[in-house]
Amino acid sequence: MKALIFEQFGGPEVLQYVDIPEPSLEPGHILVKTEAIGLNFADIYRRRGNYHLAGKPPFILGYEGAGIVERVASNVEQIKAGDRVAFVDVPFANAELVAVPIDRAIPLPVDITFEHAAGILLQGMTAHYLVNDSYRVKSGDEIVVHAAAGGVGQILTQLCKSKGARVIGLTSSDAKREIVLKAGADEVLSYDSDWVNGVKDWSSDHQGVDAVYDSVGSTLMDSFTAAKTKGTVIFYGMAGGDPPSIDPRMLMDTSKTLTGGDLWNHVTTLQNRIGRSNELFDALRRGTIQIESLTCFPLREGAEAHRLLESRKSTGKILLIP
């Protein structure tokens, strides 16, 4: 089978599109012929060597995708060849065939395309737990969404709006501003502006917002300043660098809350994965979530896809198509 591999850490140029042996079919697994594969910043970090990778080269990136079941292990009864499935948190997905544990195989309804499944599940599940678990968004809340033009940011904005919140998005360019407005944000501010005071001026009482979703990291103290007394900052990423240390006395003095979030602490069972996925699929059907900015590259052109994502000029989700 064909796969996108690398044998040493480095830039996109280390990626190679080559023939490798098919994965073995172990008990409790299925082999999925991938139709669409999601590309994420975690793949960039792993390719660079910033994230630990188990085993030895050649390495295969990719952790989410969707496709058709080609074979099942002898002890698998609930899934059969020909079924449509999607998956997240399954390694070695940058390949024509992926071995998927059955406890991570999400049934894919016939009215949801492979591209939409690979484009929504990882970011969508992240946005889902952020608005339902980390901070329960309610009608009338005023919310800041960092990196609002990104994959998570667009879905997060739409989910907050569906719950009746007012949303102000933060982004880095005029082109991205239009994308965030199209996602439903009430206002968009540039990182180049005095956005902290801009958020306060925008808030109904000019004292700040109820919650700030911060995926940038280095902006954490500014996020606290933009949150009102008794407000909440939800920290769930470090795209802009490590966050500063937080003085707990500041939290006490302002009655503000800092909470963290990691998807894998929230999707610990197959039932939970399927439940959250079905809610996302329903949101797609209703139009609550719209995914219009899918950018597709052939798997063989994976290096170009990495360059685009690394440039931070992309908006929305990038997919690799075998």
Is 240 found in the same domain as 177?
yes
pLDDT for res 256: 98
Is 71 found in the same domain as 40?
yes
Give the chain's largest Cα–Cα span. Answer: 63
Which CATH number does the domain housing residue 73 bear?
A: 3.90.180.10
- Using one digit for the tens of pLDDT, what is the confidence trace for 118-170? 999 999 999 999 999 999 999 999 999 999 988 899 999 999 999 999 999 99
Is 149 found in the same domain as 249?
yes
Structural domain contains residue 269:
yes
Q: Is the pLDDT of residue 45 over 90?
A: no
- Using one digit for the tens of pLDDT, what is the confidence trace for 226-247? 999 999 999 998 888 889 999 9
- Using one digit for the tens of pLDDT, what is the confidence trace for 63-79? 999 999 999 999 999 99
Q: 168 is in which domain, residue-wise?
A: 139-260
Is 277 found in the same domain as 235?
no
Domain count, the chain: 2
Which CATH number does the domain housing residue 254 bear?
A: 3.40.50.720
Which residues are CB-neighbours of 221 under 8 A, at least 6 positions away? 244
Is 57 found in the same domain as 17?
yes
Is 253 found in the same domain as 148?
yes
- CB of 161 within 8 A of CB of 167? yes
What is the C-alpha separation between 126 and 120, in angstroms, rounded? 10
Is 299 found in the same domain as 186?
no
Is 196 found in the same domain as 113?
no
Q: Give the residue from 237, 260, 283 where a domain finishes.
A: 260
Is 19 found in the same domain as 116?
yes
- CB of 233 within 8 A of CB of 257? yes
Q: What totals of helices (H) and strands (E) does the chain contain, helices first?
A: 9, 16
Is 237 found in the same domain as 311?
no
pLDDT for res 313: 75
pLDDT for res 303: 97
Which residues are CB-neighbours of 183 under 8 A, at least 6 positions away? 148, 153, 154, 157, 158, 169, 290
Average pLDDT over the chain reads 95
Share of the chain above pLDDT 90, in %: 87
- Using one digit for the tens of pLDDT, what is the confidence trace for 285-311? 999 999 877 899 999 999 999 999 988
Q: How confident is the model at residue 95 (pLDDT cuts 50, 70, 90)?
A: very high
- Using one digit for the tens of pLDDT, what is the confidence trace for 161-212? 999 999 999 998 888 999 999 999 999 999 999 999 999 999 999 999 999 9
